[in-house]
Chains A and B, each alone.
Chain A
Amino acid sequence: MKIIKFYSLILVLFFLSGNLFAQEDDREVFEYLFDTLTTGSVAPRMIGVDEMKYIGTQYIGKSDSTLMRYITAVVQYDIDFYADFELVLADSFYLKTYEIKELDILGWKRLGAEFTVKLEAELPGQELRVWWSLIDTGNKQQFAREKIEMKKSEWRQLGHKISNEIVKTLTGEDGIFLTKIVYVKKNNKNKEIFISDFDGANEVQLTNNHSINISPTFAPNGKHIYFTSYMDGDPQLYIVDINSKVSEKIGSYNGIVAAPSISPDGDKIACVLSKDGNSEIYLLDLSGKVIKRLTRHRSIDTSPTWSPDGKKIAFVSDRSGSPQIYIMDSFGLNNRRLTFQGRYNDSPIWAKNGDRITFVSRTKYGRFDLASINTDGTDFRVLTMVGMNENPHFSPDGKHIIFSSTRLGPKDIFTMDITGRNQRRLTRYGFCSNPIWGPNK
């Protein structure tokens, strides 16, 4: 009997050891999934932002001091938001240790900052006159200094403009801090379309038709939004002017007109029509007239999205028995299935450089997560692991993804880097969905 117990104990230990190895494998998979999507592992640049200093000669009141603090906070938020940068905070312990109130360049360097942003302002009347400069802490070299003038009422835009200039100086690319986002917000039984700054500030309601408005998409010029609305009963395609907020119907077809996607050149709309009895993808001109039917299958085809070069369209079809992502060329030929992972993959969106597609995938725990895959079907990666995550869309620079998620309760809008890192909440209203990121104007 003792021998049998001993034998059993050895077997149990053996299986436990195997289980431990399995957990190690899981950890490896976890790290693999959340590894960076780019092959070169480049750390973000560490940047410190000094508090804005007043360099004028006249006395300024408390409101002006507050205004300067707010502008500094906008620049700090933008730097922290940007995927290639990381904000270095002025460490209060360091300040107390050295009994100083502000950091000099050496102090920033000791805290890890490679660059510091210096902000100086004059406040004549209702004007804001700000000089921003960039300093390399390694050799104390100031290598950029510019002046920006705006009205005091435009202090947020001024902060974002400074951040854009910093991004341009350090990367050569256009910043995204003056871009807009559009999303759908539920209000009682209605869903209306709203627009705001990229950080969720300055929200404005675009539609107010007390109906259901969904699937917004920016025109490439950034001045109009195409969307699907139930305001006349069946879902039909509409366009709204961002400035005037006037909506206009585009075309009229039996059945549904849904999921519009504007081509990169801005003169074609790929969208879903069911006028022939089944949801198929059609190509429309900007007036809503059908140019060509792109899919022809007895199953449901939906969610078209253009590749950045406008030569291909990714879409979702359940022709294999479950919703999966397919790719065809913009004439509707050369269909091929892209995803084979799981039984539900939806809402595809192309990356800016066209080599990857990000989409919603139902993972093995039954959760909707954002995932990414090469356009040749390789290198499938899961980007989120909390809550239900849907409706991904890229920022114009291709470095960030905006999406809706229920991770903190009601559905809100979140952003993250394309690597899956730096996830942050933009809206706090609940019941927000369908976010899209506008172009750089």
Chain B
Amino acid sequence: MKLDIILSLILHVGIIVFTVISSPFDYNEKPQFENVIKVSLKALPSANKAVALPKPIVPQAIDEPMAEIPIDAPTTLPMASVPEKVKEEPKQKPKKKPETKTNNITNQPNNNDGNSEANVETADGEDSPFAGATIDNASFNYPYWFTQAFNKIRRNWRNPISADIPITCTIYFQVIKSGRLVKAEIKEPSGIPAFDNACLRSVENSTPFPPLPRQFIDEIIGITLPMQYQPN
């Protein structure tokens, strides 16, 4: 009898210890496939917006928007290259302007060749999912605007997919003086329509953006925004 109790006790303790200590099967273990992108829908995109899905952009279209943008007013072009601007600004504000420019906008290396695009730096820095954004008009020297605008976009960004690798969709959009969005399109699709639509919708739903500062003389700005999904 005593032996039975001891055996029973040992058996029970063994089961309990095994249950508590042992970890369950690792259901999260993912099969390893090389050169395969795993994508699954977490939520279906809403039907009404999905209708507005633009057709996939052919590779040649990437270069075309620069020619289509109606924003390059004569006032913009002379401001495009850095050397010219640095020389012009001191006439109005001799001390402050050159300092703010070097702090805020990091011009692309090819800016000296006449390209008016500039990289955009925000408070989020390189950790931002929008790192690598560029603006058509390098004279737009207001980092706060990008921080505020990108925050709105991020708040409206409802990612519908889950994937194993980073996915990037590049959106191009234009904003006028009042902050209203006048154009938004997919410039470089990721190849996953649900993700592309969500990116485009997040920009469209973020209007109105902060109005452009009064000191900024042009009426419109165009922004190329890579939106990157990073797997957890």
Contact = CB atoms under 8 A, between A and B. Distances in A.
B5 interface: yes
A172 interface: yes
A37 to B, nearest CB: 11
A52 B14 CA distance: 74
A139 interface: yes
Interface of A: 3, 6-7, 10, 14, 17, 38-40, 42, 45, 114-115, 136, 138-141, 143-144, 168-173
Nearest to B145: A143
Contact of A169 (B96, B100, B154, B210): B210
A172 B100 contact: no
Contact of B100 (A38, A115, A139, A173): A139
Contacts of B208: 172-173
A3 B9 contact: yes
B158 to A, nearest CB: 5
A42 B154 contact: yes
Contacts of A10: 12-13, 16
B211 A40 contact: no
Contact of A42 (B12, B151, B215): B151
Contact of A138 (B5, B13, B123, B210): B123
Contacts, number: 78
Contacts of B100: 139-141
A7 B154 CA distance: 56
B104 A139 contact: yes
Contact of B16 (A14, A42, A170): A14
A10 B142 CA distance: 66
Interface string B109-144: 000000000000001000000000000000001111
A136 B144 contact: yes
A143 B96 CA distance: 13
Contacts of B45: none
Most buried by A among B5, B20, B144, B152: B144
Contacts of A139: 99-100, 103-104, 143
A169 B16 contact: no
Contact of A172 (B147, B156, B179): B179
Interface string B20-43: 100000000000000000000000
Nearest 10 pairs of A and B residues by beta carbon: A172-B208, A172-B179, A40-B155, A40-B154, A139-B103, A136-B144, A172-B210, A42-B151, A143-B213, A172-B209
Given A6-B9, A45-B148, 4 more contacts: A3-B9, A38-B156, A136-B142, A138-B103
25 contacts: A3-B5, A6-B9, A7-B9, A7-B13, A14-B20, A38-B156, A40-B154, A40-B157, A42-B151, A42-B154, A45-B148, A45-B151, A114-B147, A138-B143, A139-B104, A141-B143, A143-B142, A143-B144, A144-B213, A144-B214, A168-B211, A171-B210, A172-B148, A172-B210, A173-B208
A307 to B, nearest CB: 14
Contact of A17 (B12, B20, B99, B148): B20
Contacts of A144: 213-214
Contacts of B213: 143-144
B12 A7 contact: yes
B6 interface: yes
B159 interface: yes
Contacts of A17: 20
Interface string B172-191: 00000001000000000000
A10 B13 CA distance: 8
A69 B143 CA distance: 31
Interface in B31-65: none
B209 to A, nearest CB: 5
A7 B16 CA distance: 11
A171 B123 CA distance: 16
A138 B124 CA distance: 12
A76 to B, nearest CB: 20
Contacts of A114: 123, 144, 147
B194 to A, nearest CB: 15
Nearest to A145: B214
A39 B148 contact: no
Contacts of B151: 42, 45
A170 B148 contact: yes
A313 B227 CA distance: 37
Most buried by B among A3, A136, A140, A168: A136
A106 to B, nearest CB: 14
Nearest to B214: A144
Contacts of B209: 172
Contacts of A38: 155-156
A43 B178 CA distance: 25
Most buried by A among B5, B141, B148: B148
Nearest to B144: A136
A136 B210 CA distance: 14
Contacts of A6: 9
Contacts of B103: 138-139
B215 A143 contact: yes
Contacts of B147: 45, 114
A115 B144 contact: yes
A271 B179 CA distance: 39
Nearest to A18: B20
Contact of A141 (B5, B142, B154): B142
B42 to A, nearest CB: 11
Nearest to A355: B46
A171 B143 contact: no
B211 A169 contact: yes
A108 B69 CA distance: 39
Contacts of A172: 148, 152, 179, 207-211
B152 A136 contact: no
A139 to B, nearest CB: 4
A39 B152 contact: no
A54 to B, nearest CB: 25
Contacts of A136: 142-144
